[in-house]
């Protein structure tokens, strides 16, 4: 059985729609632990249900792409996000003004 925080993180991540992203901090806050951004990152790294739990839709607070543990790494993460319609401001930074999920 996964800890309650991990369950909350995956439940929230599953709600991020295609074409949108959330930040690690945003998910930590929604899960009730605003200081647990790194813990959210660990949950994404250990995601047992990828790609059904869309960990590729989670980005840094500045929109930067970090730490995609799936095959293809950051290049694959960017391709998946672009294919879903996520806007970028440069090669590795998501345009959060346009593409951040607002639950």
- pLDDT digit string (tens) for the chain, length 103 residues: 468 999 999 999 999 999 999 999 999 999 999 999 999 999 999 988 877 899 999 999 999 998 777 788 899 999 999 999 999 999 999 999 999 999 9
Query: For residues 33-67, b (16+ Cβ closer than 10 Å) or e, as one string?
Result: eeebbebbbebbeebeeeeebbbbbbbbeebebeb
CATH second-level architecture of 4-99? Orthogonal Bundle (1.10)
Catalytic residue among 12, 31, 55, 59: 55
Active site residue 43: no
Put simply, whether the predicted model's pTM sits higher than 0.85 gets the answer yes
Tokens at residue 5, please? 């925080």
Question: Do residues 27 and 42 lie in contact, with contact meaning Cβ atoms separated by under 8 Å?
Answer: no
Given the structure tokens 């998946």, which residue do they identify?
80
Per domain, the residue ranges of the chain are: 4-99
């Amino acid at each position: 059985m996964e800890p309650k925080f991990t369950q909350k993180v995956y439940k929230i991540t599953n709600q991020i729609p295609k074409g949108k992203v959330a930040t690690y901090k945003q998910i930590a806050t929604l899960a009730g632990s605003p200081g647990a951004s790194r813990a959210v990152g660990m949950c994404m790294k250990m995601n047992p249900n990828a790609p059904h739990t869309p960990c590729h839709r989670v980005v840094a607070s500045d929109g930067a792409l970090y730490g995609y543990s799936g095959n293809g790494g950051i290049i694959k993460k960017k391709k998946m996000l672009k294919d879903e319609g996520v806007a970028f401001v440069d090669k590795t930074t998501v345009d959060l003004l346009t593409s951040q999920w607002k639950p």
